[in-house]
Amino acid sequence: MSIPTSQSPDIIKTDIAIIGGGNAGITLASKLKYQNALVFEPKTPEDRDVSWALWATGNDQKDIASATRGRWKQWRLVDHNHEILHNSNEYYYTSLSSADYLHYCEQQLSPNVGLVRETVENIISHGSGGTFTASGQQYYADHIFDSRPAKMDKAGLKQHFLGIEIRTKKPLKDIEIATLMDFRVDQSRGLHFIYALPFSDRSLLIESTMISTTIEPVDWYKQAIYQWLDGQSIEIEEITREELGIIPMHETTPKDTSLSKIGTSSGAIRLSSGYAFTHIQSQINQLASNIEKGDYRVPQVISGTISTLDKIYNRVLVAEPSLGVTLMMKTAGALDAEGFSRFMLGKATIKDWIKVILAMPKLPFLTQVFRL
Ligand SMILES: Cc1cc2nc3c(=O)[nH]c(=O)nc-3n(C[C@H](O)[C@H](O)[C@H](O)COP(=O)(O)OP(=O)(O)OC[C@H]3O[C@@H](n4cnc5c(N)ncnc54)[C@H](O)[C@@H]3O)c2cc1C
């Protein structure tokens, strides 16, 4: 690797250092065209291949097309009583391979940007930059952007899941529909649903997802997946991939408060849903264009109002977990496909918000508003 920096015998100097080459870090690195920069990431894309999903329009495809594994204009939420089916004209629910996306960004790096597959340590910040080491080598950067995941609160609300990707014995039905939430599973330990994405008529991703404060044993999620598959008469020919995830649904504490944060550790994640991809993209696009103008401040992409509303929503979920299914079904039921996509993307109109607020049970929300 050639490092695009000025060097002295002891210390490598660069304009910008990015700690972590995950979604936020490598996206930022790929958009820097004029500055000398280094992005530090110890893991390869394959080490962390998971499924990232988002709502995207036809115009959003440029940077995600090569990583797209599937996209659906129809999606559904199901409980024991009914099914809500959304059919969108504008949005695709889109699932990406994170490894393919990270590879795509790595391939886009300009000659002035280097990727260092090492862990950053011993950071000492000075102003917006600082010094640090990686594999014993010392570095200095005028500006540092830190994307290391923040610390989660053990007792905080989380979305936690286990997913398997399978090849099925027989062709699947309804492969044009993504199942975002099927609540017909064990609800005794918290809000629980199955998420199922048919990538083809023989390939399916199924996740058992919980929204609660306590992580469950691996076999518990697996059992839920097998029971659901049984109920759908889907037989597994082969399990081709497995993924585990824990996403915070509470405010987290950054590893180092003196550095500029990007990505989820900067708060670019919806607390009520765990969706972050689109918010990170929006933050990084704005930041990259600001950097070209000499402005290194990291934009906050989720408004204070949305964060507060998300926190109230989550407080209701913690206080009254048995309401979880009703809240999710009523949110989806109040909106059409376009409104639901906007809502999930943090772009809901006033009309969308009014529809959702009117559909919610009032007392649990008022109780939590007064407790804020
Ligand atoms: C399993 C999983 C599935 C998810 N699915 C979705 C989804 O479907 N849709 C959605 O919108 N969001 C999803 N998210 C949330 C979010 O989009 C992702 O977590 C996303 O990867 C966050 O990007 P990031 O850059 O903030 O953090 P990360 O992608 O986690 O990047 C941080 C990077 O920092 C590196 N790092 C850590 N310490 C150091 C160090 N000392 N030196 C150098 N590098 C270091 C890590 O190796 C890591 O690659 C998911 C999260 C998980 C965990």
The band of 369, judged by pLDDT with boundaries at 50, 70 and 90, is confident
> By alpha-carbon position, which residue is closest to atom 21 of ligand 1?
23
Cβ proximity of 343 and 356 under 8 Å: yes
Task: Write out pLDDT tens, residues 212-227.
Answer: 999 999 999 999 999 9
- Type of residue found at 250: H
Ligand 1 atom with least separation from CA of 95: 8
3-state secondary structure of 329: helix
How remote is the CA of residue 360 from the centroid of ligand 1, in Å? 32
Q: Is the CB of 38 under 6 A from ligand 1?
A: no
**Per-residue pLDDT tens for 8-26?**
569 999 999 999 999 999 9
Atom of ligand 1 nearest to the CA of 24: 25
pLDDT-based confidence at residue 6 (cuts at 50, 70, 90): low
For the CA of 26, the closest atom of ligand 1 is 25
3-state secondary structure of 349: coil
Atom of ligand 1 nearest to the CA of 52: 8
The C-alpha atoms of residue 93 and residue 139 are separated, in whole angstroms, by 41
In the reported structure, the alpha carbon of residue 100 is separated from the centroid of ligand 1 by a whole-number distance in angstroms of 14
**Residue with CA nearest ligand 1 atom 36:** 20
CA of 169 to the centre of ligand 1 (A): 33
Residue 277 in contact with ligand 1 by CB distance below 6 A: yes
Is 60 exceeded by the pLDDT of residue 1?
no
φ/ψ bin of 127: left (φ > 0), alpha (ψ from -120 to 50), beta (otherwise): left
Residue 100, class by beta-carbon neighbours within 10 Å (0-12 exposed, 13-18 middle, 19+ buried)? middle
Find, among 284, 319, 305, the residue nearest to 157 by Cα: 319
Question: Does ligand 1 lie within 6 Å of residue 317's CB atom?
Answer: no
pTM: 0.94
What is the rounded distance in angstroms from the CA atom of residue 275 to the CA atom of residue 264? 10
- Atom index in ligand 1 nearest the CA of residue 268 equals 26
Residue of 264, 275, 344 best suited for mutating to test ligand 1, as the one with most atoms within 8 Å of CB: 264
Query: Per residue in 281-306, pLDDT tens?
Result: 999 999 999 999 999 999 999 999 99
Cβ–ligand 1 contact at 149 (below 6 Å)? yes
Q: How far is the centre of ligand 1, averaged over its atoms, from the C-alpha of 22 (Å)?
A: 5
Does ligand 1 come within 6 angstroms of the Cβ of 40?
yes
Residue 298 confidence (pLDDT): 97
- 54 C-beta closer than 6 A to ligand 1: yes
pLDDT value at residue 321: 87
Flag whether pLDDT at 2 surpasses 50: no
pLDDT at 252: 85
Residue 325 has pLDDT above 60, yes or no: yes
Q: Specify whether the CB–CB gap between 320 and 312 falls below 8 A.
A: no
Which segments of the chain belong to CATH 3.50.50.60?
6-48+98-148+252-292
Residues 54-58 have a mean pLDDT of 94
Q: How far apart are the CA of 138 and the centre of ligand 1, in A?
A: 25
Q: Is 280 in the pocket of ligand 1 (CB under 6 A)?
A: yes
Å from CA of 247 to ligand 1 middle: 9
Give me the half-sphere count of Cα atoms (radius 13 Å) on the Cβ side of residue 314: 23
- Is any ligand 1 atom within 6 A of the Cβ of residue 52? yes
- CATH of region 6-48+98-148+252-292, choose from 3.90.550.10, 3.50.50.60, 1.20.810.10, 3.40.640.10: 3.50.50.60
Q: Is 178 in the pocket of ligand 1 (CB under 6 A)?
A: no
Rounded mean pLDDT, 66-79? 97
* For ligand 1, mutation pick of 41, 133, 256 (most atoms within 8 Å of CB): 41
Question: Residues 149, 150, 156, 161: what is their CA dihedral angle, to the nearest 10 degrees?
Answer: 0
Is residue 120 within 8 Å of residue 132, measured between CB atoms? yes
Cβ–ligand 1 contact at 42 (below 6 Å) = yes
Residue type, 343: F
Q: How far apart are the CA of 328 and the centre of ligand 1, in A?
A: 25
Give me the CATH code for the 53-96+154-248 domain, please: 3.30.9
Is the CB–ligand 1 distance for residue 247 below 6 Å? Answer: yes
Distance between CA atoms of residues 272 and 159, nearest Å: 9
Q: What residues does CATH 3.30.9 cover in the chain?
A: 53-96+154-248
